[in-house]
Amino acid sequence: MMNTQFELQDNGVIVPLSNGPKYFNYYWLRDASNTSIDPQTRERIFDVSQLPTAPKATDLSIKDDVLTINWDAEDTPSEVPISLLESVATTGRAEDVAAIPRKVWYNGHLPNIPRIPQAEVINTAAGRAKLTRALIEDGIAIVSDMEPTEESLPNLVKAIGPVTPSGEGLFFNVRVEIEPTNLAFTAGPLEMHTDLPGEEAAPGVQFLHCLENTVDGGLSLFLDGVAVAMALKEEDPDAFEMLAAHKIPFFYRHDKIDYRSHQRVIETDQDGNVTGVTISQHLQDNMDLPQDLLDRYYPAFIKFIRMMQEDRFLLKFKSEAGNCVVFDNHRIVHGREGYVADSGSRHLRGCYTDRAAMRSTYRIASKSA
Ligand SMILES: [Fe+2]
């Protein structure tokens, strides 16, 4: 392609692409050049702040899906893959295999939850790809046939990402305790919540390994917080806006811990799409929004909490020994029905990893799966 097809401007150039002409800034093109990345470390070795003058193209050409740019103040031309330009022109970003759209789900989702045996996750890329893809799309999956050992949960998590510590350490146990520090450690019902909203950034992916469950009752409850938030947006846009716009305080405290943090109940991205939810009435502090704003905030908040109790969203099942439920802690809201403490034993072991680590595992595993 000859220079005539490019429209050179002061700060950038219009490049002809398959979807039509698209403007690219010269700094961006210089920064995106193949020569900016070290082929061995794959890290950026070009420092845009070291350019003595603003980059300016003198001529451009396209050959074999590569855009070559000659600069007026540099001897070496830059090469930028056309595939990158096409992707940025279409989505605003480089291509990402992990950028899979969420699939919202409702109360009938139980038979569709992917179940992957633990050995498959640990030993095969296909197993890891299947689990992490489910976590990106549905936000929930079940790892079955867990080895009934102490090392079983750490071995599973390691296959997906490093364990994210919480205020309580690396691993926690959910069972009846004599002096509970958390409602989870009693036999009472546990209302719908996401974990650890009092931390600056709540852990992204939660694992709950059921080691034993012979009690009467104690059904596990899960719902897709994105589905509820989208339904609220549809049914009461003002209430949705309230919960998406304002942060409220959460805490986590006992004798040796006093975490405090503010979170939005509904998280949205720059386009207004719901990306997650944060909810936990038992770890919610006294609201500190202006009192007159609370006149409108509380009704919206209550509406959202009541919606989360509606059957259309709720998934109920009994946690079975040998299964590990894995879910996105910024999206999937979970709880538990009460149970009869002396009717048997119930013991879950849990921990967290990071969502970025989980997506990284998907990118790598899906390549070789
Ligand atoms: Fe929890």
Give the side-chain half-sphere CA count within 13 A for 213: 22
Residue corresponding to tokens 């104690």: 218
- Compute, in angstroms, the gap from residue 266 CA to the centroid of ligand 1: 18
Bridge partners (DSSP) of residue 144 are 117
- Compute, in angstroms, the gap from residue 16 CA to the centroid of ligand 1: 52
CA-CA-CA-CA torsion sign (352, 353, 355, 359) = negative
- Compute, in angstroms, the gap from residue 335 CA to the centroid of ligand 1: 7
DSSP class of residue 177 equals: -
- Compute, in angstroms, the gap from residue 145 CA to the centroid of ligand 1: 22
Spatial CA neighbour of 164 closest among 356, 299, 361, 23: 356
Rounded to 10 degrees, the C-alpha dihedral 299/303/306/310 comes to: 160
- Compute, in angstroms, the gap from residue 290 CA to the centroid of ligand 1: 29
Provide the pLDDT for residue 244: 98
- What string of DSSP letters covers 253-311? EETTEEEEEEEESEEE-TTS-EEEE---GGGB----S-HHHHHHHHHHHHHHHHHTTST
Residue corresponding to tokens 């909810």: 279
Cβ pair 116, 143 in contact under 8 A: yes
- Compute, in angstroms, the gap from residue 2 CA to the centroid of ligand 1: 61
- Compute, in angstroms, the gap from residue 13 CA to the centroid of ligand 1: 52
Cβ pair 317, 144 in contact under 8 A: no
Spatial CA neighbour of 122 closest among 361, 363, 367: 361
Provide the pLDDT for residue 254: 87
- Compute, in angstroms, the gap from residue 247 CA to the centroid of ligand 1: 21
User: Rounded distance, CA 150 to CA 166, Å?
Assistant: 19
pLDDT along the chain (369 residues), means of 10: 77 95 97 94 94 96 96 96 95 93 96 97 98 98 95 97 92 82 80 95 96 90 98 98 98 92 95 93 96 98 96 94 97 93 88 97 93
- Compute, in angstroms, the gap from residue 92 CA to the centroid of ligand 1: 36
- Compute, in angstroms, the gap from residue 183 CA to the centroid of ligand 1: 9
- Compute, in angstroms, the gap from residue 274 CA to the centroid of ligand 1: 21
Strands (E), 36-193: 57-63, 66-71, 78-81, 115-117, 140-144, 172-174, 190-193
- Compute, in angstroms, the gap from residue 212 CA to the centroid of ligand 1: 17
- Compute, in angstroms, the gap from residue 336 CA to the centroid of ligand 1: 9
- Compute, in angstroms, the gap from residue 193 CA to the centroid of ligand 1: 6
Model confidence, pTM: 0.92
- Compute, in angstroms, the gap from residue 271 CA to the centroid of ligand 1: 29
Cβ pair 67, 79 in contact under 8 A: yes
Cβ pair 64, 79 in contact under 8 A: no
Spatial CA neighbour of 358 closest among 140, 131, 46: 131
* Tokens coding 155: 């071995």
Give first-to-last CA distance, the chain, whole Å.
38
- Compute, in angstroms, the gap from residue 147 CA to the centroid of ligand 1: 23
- Compute, in angstroms, the gap from residue 83 CA to the centroid of ligand 1: 43
> How many angstroms separate the most distant Cα atoms in the chain?
82
- Compute, in angstroms, the gap from residue 332 CA to the centroid of ligand 1: 10
- Compute, in angstroms, the gap from residue 175 CA to the centroid of ligand 1: 12
* Tokens coding 157: 């998590």
Provide the pLDDT for residue 274: 95
Bridge partners (DSSP) of residue 101 are none
- Compute, in angstroms, the gap from residue 174 CA to the centroid of ligand 1: 9
- Compute, in angstroms, the gap from residue 195 CA to the centroid of ligand 1: 5
Helix axes of 225-235 and 291-307: crossing angle, nearest 10 degrees: 120
Ion ligand 1: residues, CB < 5 A: 195
Strand, helix or coil for residue 4 = helix
- Compute, in angstroms, the gap from residue 334 CA to the centroid of ligand 1: 6
Helices (H), the chain: 26-31, 82-91, 118-123, 125-137, 152-158, 225-235, 237-245, 291-307, 355-368
